[in-house]
Structure 1
Amino acid sequence: MELIIHTFGTSISKDYNSFVITNQNGRKKLHCDGVTSIHIGKGVQITSDAIMLAIENEIEILFVDKSGKNNGRVWSNKYGSVSTIRKGQLSFTTSKVAVEWIKTIITQKILNQQALLLAISSSTSSGLNEVDKAVSRLEDYIIKIQGLKYEHLHDISATIRGWCRKRSIPTHSERLNPSSFTAKLALKSA
């Protein structure tokens, strides 16, 4: 249940494992088990004990304006919280799965661009030759992207961004063994 409190003068406090909501109409007690988030509007007070109860039970507290737009939030740093999600995202970027995922995303975007070009060209007869060339070049990019064989995202990022022919950025394995990368650069310049 989402607890939305925006009545001016309302206060939220804690009583054992329950939130106590007090306003001019009376007092209501809600056990924390049924609450998933608390939305607090302007003119509402909340005690630090109530905030700690929400954090302990992984209940998100959102501070909202009159229109319901989120201006701030308080949440738990336990498993499943935003910090854990960020750590998972960071470890994903260093995995081989990330390389395949980004190749799939970029390929789909190129396919969408091809579809757009073909849709536009079907409505107009002028420029069909340029559209065909562009669609063909985009198809070449798809083949290049699918042909990339790297294990780490940072190894292919420069290649995808600019399709640079000369590799002046070391791969992950070359970073671990810098002498091999230096030797490759010396051979290229010779």
Structure 2
Amino acid sequence: MKLNLTTYGFYLSKSGNRFVIKADGKKDEISVDKVEQIVVTTKGVITTDAINLAVENNIDFIMLNNYGKPLGRFWHSKFGSISTIRKKQLELENTYLGFELVKDWISTKMNNQKKLLKKFSNGESLNNSTISKMNNYVQKINEMEYNYKNIKEERDKIQNLEANVSRMYFKTLSELLPEEYRFECRSRNPAKDYFNCLLNYGYGILYGQIERSCIIAGLDPYIGILHRDNYNRTALVYDMIEPYRYYVDKTVFELCIENKINNEFFDELKAEEKSKNGYYLNKEGKQLLISKYNEIMDKKIKYDGKNTRIEDTILKDCHKVSNKILKYI
């Protein structure tokens, strides 16, 4: 299970082989064997004994900010990128393998976006020109060929195609939403509307899961391919997250059409500069989103011929990337 600490002023300690959580005047004890991850989303007190218990049992311990972005995490010292893989990752940017990985991540993302639009159209006719254009962009990416001399230009083309598809996707997605949740465009931190607020927090949770899987698989999350020059942080996470955004989008969309969202889940951020005004999720909103997201990620899909939890496919994919790097570079 995931232990989500969302109540302001919580107290996390340990007793024997159990985590002890005190919050809102209540006390709970959970055996360490039942916990696979601890997620801290608000201010509270954590004892070093509790941290040690988590680390000694290889339990991922992550802290998120108000927007769901990972602030930091505790790891067992045995985790970390293998030096051989890390050295090869540094060479990956301009190689055929790196180019093919990027093509696969982005084309999979686009196909998932199409799948979601079709799923939630509820029999309504989607704009055929939009789907046709999306298909065309996917085809263009799949047909691109590796050229060492023009590799940077080719990556730029992929990013431009991705941006075009994303604009069409979110425009169409908004039109499929109930009117009260529709939005003009993607807005990040702070979000300008409820839908983007939920989406941003969900992506933040997903970032943490991708980073965790990269590290366990021996990959250095700071050495990316497509986003190598655009980010000074976990660049590989920004690369590898693309195929999985679908599950966050699906989570938020379903919450909206199920009428489970209300104004009380959001706190309004008012700044001196109007451009910095927006919304962020409060405790109740986080609990709702995390619960729904975990429900979706807990479902099983066919993966390499076996029924596998969606969340587990992330780590399996990271191991595949790691093995390819070791084998082909």
**TM-score tier (shorter):** 0.3 to 0.5
**Rg larger in 1 or in 2?**
1
**TM-score between the two structures when normalised by the length of structure 1:** 0.48
Higher relative contact order (CA 8 A, sep 6+): 2
